[in-house]
Structures are given as C-alpha cells and as structure tokens.
Amino acid sequence: MVLLHDLSQLPPADAGALHELAQSVETFQLLASSLQLGLFDALETPKNAEELADELGLNSVITRKCCDALTGSGFLLRKDGSYALSDLSKTFLLKTSPYYQGDLIGLLKKTRIERWGRISDALKSGPVGLERNFESVFDERFIRAMAQGAMRGGLQKTIEILGGHREFMNARRLLDLGGGHALYSIAFAQLNPSLDVRLLDLPPVVENVARRNISAYRADRVTAVPGDFTQDDLGEGYDVVFASDVLYRPRESLGPVLGRIHSSLKDNGLFISKHWHIDDPVKDITAVYFDLMFSITDGAERIYSTEAFSKILESHGFSIEEVHDFNHRFHPSRMIIARKVKP
Ligand SMILES: C[S@@+](CC[C@H](N)C(=O)[O-])C[C@H]1O[C@@H](n2cnc3c(N)ncnc32)[C@H](O)[C@@H]1O
C-alpha cells in the first residue's frame, strides 16, 4: 500500500537517535576486531597506517580506513599522518592498563552472537536454550571479563561502602563465595589488615585466575579453595559471607545456597549480597537488558527486585540491616547487608 503524504514535510521526531544506534553497532564491531588484532597495543607508539598494517600483517588500505573511523569515534588521535591513542584508549584498551576492558568487550560480542542473535526465535517460540551448560559459561576469559567489569567502578564502590562499616572493619574471617578473579577478596584484605579471606570457586577458576591474582598481589591472607558451593563444604564460623553477582538463580536453587551460607556463618554473622536488581525499568535499564538476555536462552527467574530478594533472604533466616544503591548507570547493583538471625 502506498501512503500519500506531503513529501516536503520533515518527520515530527529526530531520526538521529536511530542513526547513532545503528552506527554504534558498527563502531562496536570495529572496536572488538581492533582489540582482537592488537591494534591498540601496537599504537602505544604512534605510527602511520602503513607502518601499523606492516607490523600486524594487515591490509594497509582497510587499516587506514579503520584508523580514520576509530579517530572519528574518539579512540584514536591523528596528527601529521600518524595515529596515536586517545586517553580513552590508553585507559581501557591497552593490555598493560589496570582498567583494560578487552576481555569484557570480547564477552559482549560473544553474547550478542550466542544470545541476542536469537531474540526473534525466543519471541516467537520461547527460550531457545544455551548450547553450553550454566557452569561451563565460567571459563577463564569470562572470569577475566568479570574482573575488568569490576574495575569499572563496582569494586571501588564496594570498598567505599564497606570501609565505612564498623563491623566489616572488625571482622576476622570472610568467605568470598564465587569470588572468581579474587579482586574483591584482595581488596578486602587490603582494607581490613586483620581479615583472613577464603575464596571459594570452581576448580578451573581457582587454578587459572584466582590464585594467579592472589600471588601477583602478594595477598597472603587470601586463600582460594576449589569447590562447588551447591555441594561442597563452605567451612563455618565466618564473620562475613560476601557474594557478588553469583546468585542469579531460580528460587528453587537459590534457597539451598542461602541455607548453606546461613550455616557457614557464626551466630549473628553478616551476609553481604551485591547483585543487580530491577526496581525501576528506567533507572535499572542495564539490569532489564541483562534479565532479557537470560530469558532468550532460559525461562528461569534469575533477576529479582530488591524487595523480592530481601524477602527470600528473610525467609531463610536473615534480617535485612542495610541496602545500598550503587546509583550507577552500568552497575545497577544493590548491596544488601543481612544478619543471620535464626539458628
Ligand atoms: C558472574 S561471576 C562473579 C565473580 C565475582 N564475584 C564478581 O563479582 O566479579 C560468578 C562467579 O561464580 C562462580 N560460580 C558459579 N557457580 C558456582 C558454583 N556452583 N560453585 C562455585 N562457584 C561458582 C563462577 O565461577 C564465577 O566466578
């Protein structure tokens, strides 16, 4: 059907947002490929496109065009025919930077293909299933990506909140459940000089990532223990159990883990939960997308509102003492500090 319309009339809304959105997909592809090919590390010393292409074994014409696109997008600076890194790239895209984000960007790209690429199928026929099981998601690259995500602000905010918490600062024994890369454990031991930290995570994560970081930081009060928190012994008598981004589980499997956390704490001990929750779809838009991403592949409930999660905690013998809102665009976390109240 042809709609007859006054062709001189501009649209009543600006198409710029749609254009920028589409272009950001291309920018993301370019960024992910440039990282994968080592382009940013190679530009730590400025060079022209031919020198860069030569060093990395790339096509020089396309390399120049990519460098121009990266310049236009704020990742590179161009001066006298040479390309150099912008501050943004020096901070986040150089492997030697403590804030390097390369594995996280790689993970986002993979998620786009594996999960977001199937959203139409899921919409039409329900969750499509994931080819790998939930546990095999946690490979070395994923854990490094989690460490890089934490370094964007979530870790620092956690330290800020807990540094002002008297009981945390007086604690002697802490369990970091699903502590992965160990950066939270290491930072806790740095924050509280009397604290012994035990990190529990799956065996490959402990061997390949946690122990390496612990020894690199010479964190001798942090011990990484391999195990599965759904079945292995968690230990007991902890002053604090901390869990960050590990309890995105359906209620039926969340309950037993909370029961195990409860038993591992000493009487009146603290459970500190740091997770994304959805309380407001606008404010928590990052968590809304995270929740949608899960539902493309599996139908289980994994992300809760702060209130629903708090009620689950209460029904497992905890009382809620404090809720901290990270109030951050891409860390829609709430930290819930709960106390063990029942035997
Ligand atoms: C999303 S990562 C979070 C890592 C870290 N706590 C953080 O906040 O950055 C989830 C972690 O939980 C661990 N994990 C998942 N299921 C587990 C299980 N059954 N037993 C032990 N660790 C588990 C994963 O290996 C991974 O390190």
Atom of ligand 1 nearest to the CA of 138: 25
Q: Which of 159, 174, 201, 273, when mutated, tests ligand 1's pocket best, judged by the most ligand atoms within 8 Å of its CB? A: 201
Q: Which of 108, 133, 137, 138, when mutated, tests ligand 1's pocket best, judged by the most ligand atoms within 8 Å of its CB? A: 138
330: pLDDT strictly greater than 90: no
State in Å: Cα 341 to ligand 1 middle: 26
CA-nearest residue for atom 9, ligand 1, is: 146
State in Å: Cα 207 to ligand 1 middle: 14
**Alpha-carbon span 247 to 250, nearest angstrom:** 9
pLDDT tens, residue by residue, 80-134: 999 999 999 999 999 999 999 999 999 999 999 989 999 999 999 999 987 766 5
**Alpha-carbon span 268 to 127, nearest angstrom:** 41
Percentage, residues of the chain above pLDDT 90? 91
Helix (H, G, I), strand (E, B) or coil at 260: helix
Among residues 272, 327, 295, 17, the alpha carbon closest in space to that of 154 is found at 327
> What is the reported pTM?
0.94
Provide residues with CB under 6 Å of ligand 1: 135, 138, 143, 146, 150, 178-180, 201-202, 205, 228-230, 244-246
- Could you tell me which residues come within 8 angstroms of residue 250 by beta carbon, excluding any fewer than 6 positions away? 300, 301, 302
196: pLDDT strictly greater than 80: yes
How confident is the model over 56-64, as a mean pLDDT?
A: 98
State in Å: Cα 324 to ligand 1 middle: 22
State in Å: Cα 178 to ligand 1 middle: 4
Atom of ligand 1 nearest to the CA of 229: 20
Percentage, residues of the chain above pLDDT 70? 97
CA-nearest residue for atom 19, ligand 1, is: 228
Q: Which CATH architecture has domain 18-91?
A: Orthogonal Bundle (1.10)
**Alpha-carbon span 187 to 126, nearest angstrom:** 41
Tell me the one-letter amino acid at 32: A
Angle at the Cα of 30 from the Cα atoms of 24 and 33, rounded to 5 degrees: 140
- Could you tell me which residues come within 8 angstroms of residue 209 by beta carbon, excluding any fewer than 6 positions away? 140, 143, 144, 147, 180, 181, 182
State in Å: Cα 159 to ligand 1 middle: 19
How confident is the model over 305-314, as a mean pLDDT?
A: 98
Give domain limits for the chain: 18-91, 116-340
Q: How confident is the model at residue 137 (pLDDT cuts 50, 70, 90)?
A: confident
State in Å: Cα 139 to ligand 1 middle: 10
State in Å: Cα 28 to ligand 1 middle: 27
Q: How confident is the model at residue 136 (pLDDT cuts 50, 70, 90)?
A: low
- What is the CATH topology of the domain spanning 116-340? Rossmann fold (3.40.50)
What pLDDT score does 14 carry? Answer: 93
**Alpha-carbon span 91 to 99, nearest angstrom:** 6
